[in-house]
Amino acid sequence: MSLFRALRPTLPILVGASVMLSLAMGLRQSLGLFMPPLTKDTGISVSDFTLAIAVQNLAWGLLQPLAGAWAVRLGMRRLMVGGALLYIAGLMLLATAGGLVGVVLGAGVAIGAALACNGSALALAAASRPVPVAVRSSVLGIVSAAGSVGAMIAAPIGQALTQAHGWRIGLWGFVALALLMLPAAWAAGKVDALPVPHKAGEGDSAGAALGIALRNPLFVVMALTYFVCGMQLVFLTTHLPSYLDQCGMDPMLSAQALGMIGGFNVLGSLFFGWAGGRWNKLVLLGAIYITRSLAIAWYFVALPTPAATLVFAGIMGFLWLGVAPLVAGWIAETFGLRWQAMLGGVAFVGHQLGSFVGALGGGLIFDFAGSYNAAWQIGVALGLVGGLVQAAFAWSKRHGQGRPPMAQAG
């Protein structure tokens, strides 16, 4: 009850950020459901579709630092509402696409740019500002958990509409859901009226703040190993439906698996938000990457069954968005709130480069080899290496955590 009382004045902002993030992530994570029928209907290949998803992730990653910096100058509300409008336009382009160009422009460029404004970096930055430091990590976990609910709603709706009326109607259902992002983004934008607490050494400009972060080895290692996170997750959201289709599984199993990921994502985000307030956030990140890699190896080493698929989805869901409160929380406590979204975006570039490789690389390997064996094996190997490096480096430097290099005067 004390937590609720502390957060009650900020609830419009937190609820708005949560709903916006939930829809942005849930709709995006469910686009892989449309790959089998869309590619057959439009005559494009699996690698063509995954090129669009790869472009989406690259656009998202490259624009995220800029969106974070613009949020300081223009305000979060303008960016988040504008991003919601662009997201809706991207879904409409995809729903009416007749070939590769429409798919890349809609699912790739438009939605990728929109996610830079509606994704976790800005949503968690908006949620960080109005809450007390003592509960910030838990609040970030709660908002990240809400970001998982979207997949639980979007995936079954999209699959049901697609099976009953075709993939285009399924995407128009996504357009209807995306309209709810507009009032959510507007409510989250109330954060612009709140003052930003000052932290010594945070930097007076975006360039100064970036220089401070890049001189912190913990930040650099976190950004580099973030590649693993994006590669593994986007490989699964993009290619799991195709893999199950290749194995002769019921198409509804894909939607059930994505829904299971969303459900356990809620539990994982809450847990890691809570755990991040008690233990080393960067060591926890490494543990997530290692555990994910072991789960992927277990699942793909044998042919899938419905039960194994749902168990795997539950494990991956628990480990999915738990990275978000850990990364956002560590950046906020280390570098302050003013440039949190921008620095989170810089780290996120590594994540999105991994997403690009996971989406496009998986499609190219499938088109060339006719299976996903090499793709998941590469993902497991890189995940284990990245997780071990992240955990070991953070553990060895744990006494320096939270003390970034100070900006030099002048």
Q: Does residue 408 lie in a domain region?
A: no
pLDDT at 7: 63
Q: Does residue 285 lie in a domain region?
A: yes
How many residues are present in the chain? 410
pLDDT in tens, 92-101: 999 998 888 8
Range(s) of the domain holding residue 221: 14-190+203-400
Q: Does residue 67 lie in a domain region?
A: yes
Interacting residues of 293 by C-beta distance below 8 A, sequence separation 6+: 232, 379, 380, 381, 383, 384, 387
Q: Is pLDDT at 202 greater than 70 in this prediction?
A: no
Q: Does residue 131 lie in a domain region?
A: yes
Work out the pLDDT band at 74, boundaries 50, 70, 90. confident
pLDDT in tens, 241-281: 777 777 777 767 777 787 777 778 788 877 887 787 778 88
Report yes or no: 229 and 291 within 8 Å, Cβ to Cβ. Answer: no
Q: Does residue 375 lie in a domain region?
A: yes
Work out the pLDDT band at 80, boundaries 50, 70, 90. very high
User: How many structural domains compose the chain?
Assistant: 1
pLDDT at 63: 87
pLDDT in tens, 286-313: 889 999 899 999 988 877 788 888 888 8
pLDDT at 354: 83
Q: Is pLDDT at 198 greater than 70 in this prediction?
A: no
Interacting residues of 17 by C-beta distance below 8 A, sequence separation 6+: 123, 124, 126, 127, 143, 184, 188
pLDDT at 172: 94
Cα separation, 53 vs 355, in Å, equals 9
pLDDT at 404: 40
Cα separation, 48 vs 53, in Å, equals 9
Please indicate whether residue 354 or residue 47 has the higher confidence score (pLDDT): 354
Q: What is the C-alpha R_g of the chain?
A: 20
Q: Does residue 406 lie in a domain region?
A: no
Q: Which two tokens stand for residue 324?
A: 């978000």
Q: Does residue 409 lie in a domain region?
A: no
Q: Is pLDDT at 212 greater than 50 in this prediction?
A: yes
Single out the residue of 188, 16, 184, 190 nearest to residue 85, CA to CA.
184
CATH of the domain at 93: 1.20.1250.20
Q: Does residue 396 lie in a domain region?
A: yes
pLDDT at 120: 78
